[in-house]
Amino acid sequence: MLTLWSLLLFLVEIGYVCNLNAKFPSYIYFNSLVFADAFIGIDIGNDPSSLPSPELVVSLLKSHQITHVRLFDSDARLLSALSNTGIEVMIGVANKEVLRIAKSPSNAASWINTHVSAFKPATNITAIAVGSEFLSSNPNAGPVLVIAINNLYKALVASNLNNQINISTPLSMDMIPTPFPPSTATFNLSWNSTIHDILEFLQNTNSFYMLNAYPYDYFVRSNGIFPIQYALFQPLPEVNQIVDPNTLFHYESMLDAMVDATYYSIAAYKFSVIPIIVTETGWPWSGRANESDANMATAETFNNNLIKRVLTGSGPPSQPGILLNSYIYEMFNEDKRPNYGVFFKNGSSVYALDLGNSKGNFSGGFCVARKGADSASLQAGLNWACGQGQANCKAIQSGQPCYLPNTVENHASYAYNDYYQRKHDLGGTCDFGGTGILTNVDPSTCSLLFTRIFIMKWAILVWVETC
């Protein structure tokens, strides 16, 4: 199926007017640009033969300042070793346990007691992943998965842990048969009611969608349609870029497009926006003879660029205000997906990976309203920026391009940033009575002069000549 790429079917050319001032960021698409911590976590497998001692695992995590881990199961020795480290831990219910947990609420309660309550609060378990791509391997067992999730949630409530722990289920990109272009992606309808029930659960419990997304897989299957730079978060060749023809969003990386495909698929269900966390992504550093793009250099590039991408603090084009928090698959090699490990069992790195400082460094160049700042203070900051501060606030006046959403937070973000861009060389700060904050989010949208769209069987690529 995916190997039957047909090449160019036809060619469209469109023009697009250059109407944005490229020097200053535009907030047209940035409805909720607010500050939060971006993080990169790492996946730890559950094959005992692949893992060094729990103590070595934890000391490696600490020495690389890794703040988030996902365990595929809930190994008691590892959970104990993770106690009092401050590391946030996502644990997993194995696929083979899902049916038993769905069968009775008391099985769910005993699972929570044994694998969660016994380790809280010393071990900071903050999420439970129910199954691992369970629907891909059990396509007809959606209702069982939903029951298991609900049983576990009720057990958490009974243990009074529901406010400290999120429950969700990692789903693969298989759920979305045609992810490109993102704006037209939808879930495979054969899982309609299961997806509906899962999203409803995630919304009702304020949890998040767990997505496993491997640009490597799509890059390999696309047989050269996508340039490798696109999969590796590298600038695209020449001045070509990939644009969704419906939204005109530029996709600078395939991972961004995959996450957006999932946001659009979720949006078709009319729930409020459910944040996505990438629970697995990675790149193999060795492969079969026919897999020449699985090598040390590409794996190193993918993972280091992934880290940089996530720590910019911006989300994908359709949800720029939601961080692209991601877990790297994986800490040590396992058989499930061979040669994705970033450490050898003896603790040495397979290749140089800058995981250090895996909390975002937001000393960046954009000044926006701080999340949670009270609206009276924001209004005061906004008035100051547009008045004495001499920011150009024309674009946020009624009827102007950045007026919507008409919230004090949006307007303050615009005005603060305009002021900051004009004045910081002259000593202007991003303070605004404590309501401003610096971020690396680059919200500027490139202005297009001319776009050529190549429409293919499954993907629409747009090669853009920028101004």
Ligand X SMILES: *[C@@H]1O[C@H](CO)[C@@H](O)[C@H](O)[C@H]1NC(C)=O
Catalytic residues: 133, 280
Q: Which is nearer to ligand X, 167 or 368 (CB)?
A: 167
Q: Stretches 206-214, 227-235, 245-253, 447-455: which one binds ligand X (CB under 6 A)?
A: 206-214
Nearest to 260 by CA among 182, 363, 329: 182
Q: Does 49 bind ligand X (CB under 6 A)?
A: no
Cα–Cα distance measured from residue 465 to residue 249, given in angstroms and rounded to the nearest whole number? 14
What DSSP string runs through 177-190? S--SSGGG----GG
Number of residues that bind ligand X (CB under 6 A): 29
Q: Looking only at residues 355 through 374 of this chain, which bind ligand X when binding is defined by CB under 6 A?
A: 357, 361, 363
Cα–Cα distance measured from residue 262 to residue 371, given in angstroms and rounded to the nearest whole number? 25
183 to 202: interface string for ligand X, x by CB under 6 A: -----xxx-xx--x------
User: What's the longest Cα–Cα distance across the chain?
Assistant: 66
Cα–Cα distance measured from residue 94 to residue 134, given in angstroms and rounded to the nearest whole number? 9
Q: Looking only at residues 127 through 166 of this chain, which bind ligand X when binding is defined by CB under 6 A?
A: 139, 164, 166
Out of 177, 338, 365, 428, name the contact with ligand X by CB under 6 A.
177
Q: Looking only at residues 275 through 314 of this chain, which bind ligand X when binding is defined by CB under 6 A?
A: 275, 288, 290-291
Q: Which is nearer to ligand X, 107 or 330 (CB)?
A: 330
Cα–Cα distance measured from residue 366 to residue 359, given in angstroms and rounded to the nearest whole number? 18
> In the structure encoding, which two tokens stand for residue 162, read together?
């529901």
Q: Does 3 bind ligand X (CB under 6 A)?
A: no
Cα–Cα distance measured from residue 1 to residue 7, given in angstroms and rounded to the nearest whole number? 14
Q: Does 390 bind ligand X (CB under 6 A)?
A: no
Whether 332 and 51 have beta carbons less than 8 Å apart is answered as yes
Q: Which is nearer to ligand X, 197 or 391 (CB)?
A: 197
Q: Does 223 bind ligand X (CB under 6 A)?
A: no
Helix (H) or strand (E) segment spanning residue 276: strand 276-281
Out of 63, 77, 106, 121, name the contact with ligand X by CB under 6 A.
121
Q: Which is nearer to ligand X, 275 or 428 (CB)?
A: 275
Q: Which is nearer to ligand X, 32 or 377 (CB)?
A: 32
234 to 273: interface string for ligand X, x by CB under 6 A: ----------------------------------------
Helix (H) or strand (E) segment spanning residue 200: helix 192-204
Provide the terminal-to-terminal Cα distance of the chain, rounded to the nearest Å: 38
User: Distance between alpha carbon 119 and the CA centroid of its chain, in Å?
Assistant: 28
Whether 254 and 220 have beta carbons less than 8 Å apart is answered as no
Q: Does 86 bind ligand X (CB under 6 A)?
A: yes
Q: Does 208 bind ligand X (CB under 6 A)?
A: yes
Q: Is 70 left (phi over 0), alpha (psi -120 to 50) or beta?
A: beta
Q: Does 348 bind ligand X (CB under 6 A)?
A: yes
Q: Which residues bind ligand X (CB under 6 A)?
A: 86, 88, 121, 124, 126, 139, 164, 166, 177, 188-190, 192-193, 196, 206-208, 220, 275, 288, 290-291, 344, 346, 348, 357, 361, 363
